[in-house]
């Protein structure tokens, strides 16, 4: 099965890539979402949950800045220049993953007081909720597209298996040549008497043959005999 670059990124360098690009951002985003719901219901804008919410919001935003810079410089730009995108499925998977980080960056900017300065606590919480919802939507689109096989849209990867020429190590006997030799063998065997057959040199009860070939004497129309000749 062919993989998108999104899935390939998570699959290689196990388990570190999975932790860096999936586990850490998802844990921070889920922490942000859960504490967000708590604050919306309780309206307690102080205490441990509130500060955990602020920490998660800033941390996940800053973290995604690093992820986006890394993926853009090490994946998106080189792949685009080389024209190696694995159909539109690949573009959607990587693109939506990067877009999913933008709402979280906006939350971090808000928590650091760089945007939405005029909003009160409830207004800021609403922005939080909208941004978290956008992250979940785009994040799940990225996961679904990333798990798809790009070959369903015609991508043919370098991993496509081809028949190897391993049979080159074995001798090959053409069917017509084989049939011709068998007929010669049957003809010669039919003209032999039981005594001659007993005197034939054997090799473990079988005629000495190469792989897929008749003995040279048979090719020449002669049967190997003992020292005794036979005259008709």
pLDDT, one tens digit per residue, over 94-128 is 999 999 999 999 999 999 999 999 999 889 989 99
**36 shares its domain with 137:** yes
Angle at 37 between CA 34 and CA 41, to 5 degrees: 145
Residue at 139 is within a domain:
yes
Both 138 and 192 in one domain: the answer is: no
Q: Which domain holds residue 209?
A: 174-219
Residues 138 and 187 placed together within one structural domain of the fold: no
57 with 147, same domain: the answer is yes
In sequence order, the β-bridge partners of residue 213 are: 210
Task: Note whether 136 and 180 are same-domain residues.
Answer: no
Residue 164 domain-assigned?
no
Average pLDDT over residues 154-180: 55
Residue 21 forms part of a structural domain? yes
- 160-174 average pLDDT score: 43
- 45 and 144 both lie in a single domain: yes
The CA–CA distances, whole Å, from 189 to 89, 103, 198 equal: 67, 88, 12
Where is average pLDDT lowest: 67-71, 89-93, 101-105, 123-127?
A: 123-127
Residue 40 lies in a domain: yes
Q: What is the pTM of this model?
A: 0.66
In a domain, 63, yes or no: yes
Mean pLDDT for the stretch of residues 153-166: 58
**Model confidence pLDDT, tens digit, residues 123-147:** 998 999 999 999 999 999 999 999 9
Query: Distance between CA atoms of 135 and 97, rounded to whole angstroms?
Result: 9
SS (H, E, C) the chain: CCCCHHHHHHHCCCCHHHHHHHHHHHHHHHHHHHHHHHHHHHCCCCCHHHHHHHHHHHHHHHHHHHHHHHHHHHHHHHHHHHCCCCHHHHHHHHHHHHHHHHHHHHHHHHHCCCCCCCCCHHHHHHHHHHHHHHHHHHHHHHHHHHHCCHHHHCCCCCCCCCCCCHHHHCCCCCHHHHHHHHHHHHHHHHCCCHHHHHCCCCCCCCCCCECCECCHHHHCCCCCCCCCCCCC
Q: Does 165 map to a domain?
A: no
Q: Residues 142, 179: one domain?
A: no
Residues 44 and 145 grouped into a single domain: yes
- 189-207 pLDDT, tens digit per residue, is 666 666 655 555 554 444 4
Q: Does residue 113 come out as left (phi exceeding 0), alpha (psi in the -120 to 50 range) or beta?
A: left
For a pLDDT cut of 70, what percent of the chain falls above it? 69
| Residue 173 confidence class, pLDDT cut points 50, 70, 90 | low
Residue 167 lies in a domain: no
Residue 176: predicted pLDDT = 63
Helix axes 48-71, 87-111, angle to 10 degrees: 140
Say yes or no: 68 and 16 in one domain.
Answer: yes
Domain count, the chain: 2
Shared domain for 49 and 146, answered yes or no, is yes
Residue 142 and residue 85 share a domain: yes
| 62 occurs within a structural domain | yes
Structure tokens given for 83: 């024209």
Are 139 and 90 part of one and the same domain?
A: yes
């Amino acid at each position: 099965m062919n993989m998108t670059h999104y899935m390939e990124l998570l699959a290689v360098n196990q388990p570190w890539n999975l932790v860096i690009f999936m586990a850490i951002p998802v844990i921070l985003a889920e922490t942000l979402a859960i504490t967000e719901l708590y604050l919306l219901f309780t309206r307690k804008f102080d205490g441990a949950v509130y500060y955990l919410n602020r920490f998660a919001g800033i941390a996940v935003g800053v973290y995604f800045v690093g992820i986006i810079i890394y993926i853009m410089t090490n994946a998106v730009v080189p792949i685009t220049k080389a024209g190696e995108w694995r159909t539109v499925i690949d573009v959607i998977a990587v693109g939506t993953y990067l877009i999913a980080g933008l709402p979280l960056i906006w939350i971090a900017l808000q928590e650091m007081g760089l945007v939405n300065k005029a909003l009160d606590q409830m207004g800021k919480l609403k922005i939080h909720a909208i941004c978290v919802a956008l992250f979940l939507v785009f994040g799940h689109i990225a996961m679904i597209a990333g798990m798809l096989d790009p070959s369903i849209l015609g991508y043919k990867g370098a991993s496509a298996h081809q028949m190897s020429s391993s049979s080159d190590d074995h001798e090959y006997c053409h069917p017509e040549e084989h049939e011709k030799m068998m007929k010669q063998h049957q003809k010669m065997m039919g003209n032999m008497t039981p005594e001659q057959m007993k005197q034939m040199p054997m090799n473990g009860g079988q005629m000495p043959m190469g792989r897929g070939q008749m003995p040279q004497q048979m090719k020449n129309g002669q049967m190997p005999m003992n020292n005794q000749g036979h005259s008709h």
